[in-house]
Structure 1
């Protein structure tokens, strides 16, 4: 079974209910079609606000444990350095580089891996942050995966990378994901990918904060952007 990839982005509304495209979008789609079941969705907010970044979802028939083992063999390095024919990442990264050369403003806002048993979502925290730090994030995941198990043996159903301490613990929230708009956290850099991660466990029904530096799963609760906005709205 081939890996599937879904990419969405916002474009400017045009006459005839059309949506503007990036330069080389058709070629980008054709490149992806060679190795993936590829879907590209164009959206618009109706206000002509211009382009936004790409939201990328890679859907694989692997489970997360298999992916971790795959990374542990060192193939993660090869994928990023074009030394393997594996289709999970290499073709997308190659096609994205080509698209980036034609559209310097393009960036990846969110990269999600959807496996049979779990999902991993990596968020942009500064310009080109996902592309620049992906290899280190994946290797960090390989090293720390067993540290993400609950004492009951349950494995994470969702991982959010990274999460942050909420400034002044506003709204009674100590840890959360970054917000898409009106973000107050400042001075973000690549080190923030390796401070706190978020892990959700579906059987326990709870969100836990993983302290990356201590390699320790804490009992602290974190809020996704959706949960954060719901809480703020309710207050």
Structure 2
């Protein structure tokens, strides 16, 4: 399918399960708010009461460059602390509950951009969040066009759209574990005010390309 804004918007319109009480959620949320300097909203998007699929939204009053600066200085995100890191806090949340807990989506809303990270295999976000932020920092000079234009939305990842791989296949890859961490570091979807449609950022070649890629829809 073409890479356009409607595809991205539809992706984020998911239903939320308000019937399931999650033990330790307040502590988890406060931990994220403290270390990410953000207002945090956590919702359960699972349609079943047998599991928990979290959508986590961080509303941070920093711009992209300021956020990456604090991340690089290890003053934002607290990734250096195993227990208090995002992965550590999530593990503590899991230990408070009998149901399996997975992070389906992690969204970071900054003053000048939104970064939406989606799960592509079990525990992919908790395992790769720090590495994704490292890559954002490394590639910011490229996907901001030398910091002359910051995309107002970044979708991580997007997939190549070809006849051998369709949306159903991508979803099955999650269930079967066929996606890998490298899929986070191949292509990202970007949306600029100067462009009518979203474009693709190729991490390997550090370039912005026009093409058909696939967003992973629920």
TM-score (norm 2): 0.72
Unaligned runs of 5+ in 1: 1-7, 12-17, 84-89, 172-177, 230-235
Mapped pair 1:29 → 2:44: no
Shift of 1:183: 2.9
Q: Which residue of 2 aligns with 1:183?
A: 171
User: Are residues 39 and 155 of structure 1, via their aligned partners in 2, closer, same or farther at CA, if it must alter by over 3 Å?
Assistant: closer
Q: Deviations over 1:211-230 (max 9, x none)?
A: 1111111133545467xx9x
Match of 2:19 in 1: 19
2:117 pairs with one of 105, 115, 122:
122
Give 1:82 deviation, angstroms. Answer: 1.6
- Give the alignment's Cα RMSD to 1 decimal: 3.5
- Contact 1:200-1:207 at 8 Å conserved across structures: yes
Identify which of structures 1 and 2 has the higher relative contact order when contacts are C-alpha pairs closer than 8 Å and 6+ apart: 2
Q: Return the match for 2:92 from 81, 98, 108.
A: 98
Per the alignment, residue 59 of structure 1 pairs with 59
Counterpart CA distance in 2 for 1:129 and 1:41 is 18
1:150, distance to aligned residue in structure 2 (A): 4.1
Do the aligned partners of 2:192 and 2:198 also contact (CA within 8 Å) in 1? yes
Partner of 1:161: 156
Provide the secondary structure at the position in 1 that maps to 2:198: strand
Equivalent pair of 2:40/2:58 in contact (CA under 8 Å):
no
**Aligned partners of 1:29 and 1:40 also within 8 Å:** no
The structural deviation recorded for 1:148 is 0.3
Q: Which aligned runs of 4 or more in structure 1 are off by greater than 4 angstroms?
A: 8-11, 36-45, 90-94, 221-226
- Contact 2:57–2:109 (Cα < 8 Å) also in 1: yes
Q: Secondary structure at the match of 1:132?
A: helix
Contact 1:144 1:215 in 2 (8 A): yes
> Aligned residue pairs: how many?
195
> Residue 109 of structure 1 corresponds to which residue in structure 2?
104
Per-residue CA shift, 1:112-139, capped at 9, x if unaligned? 0001111001110000001101111110
SS of equivalent residue, structure 1 residue 137: helix
Instruction: Give, in angstroms, the shift of residue 210 of structure 1.
Output: 0.8
Once the two structures are TM-superposed, the CA of residue 73 in structure 1 deviates from its matched residue by 2.8
Q: State how far apart, in whole Å, the 2-side matches of 1:54 and 1:170 are.
A: 26
Which of 169, 191, 196 aligns to 1:205? It is: 196
- CA distance in structure 1 between the aligned counterparts of 2:147 and 2:65, rounded to whole angstroms: 17
Indicate the structure (1 or 2) with the bigger Cα radius of gyration: 1
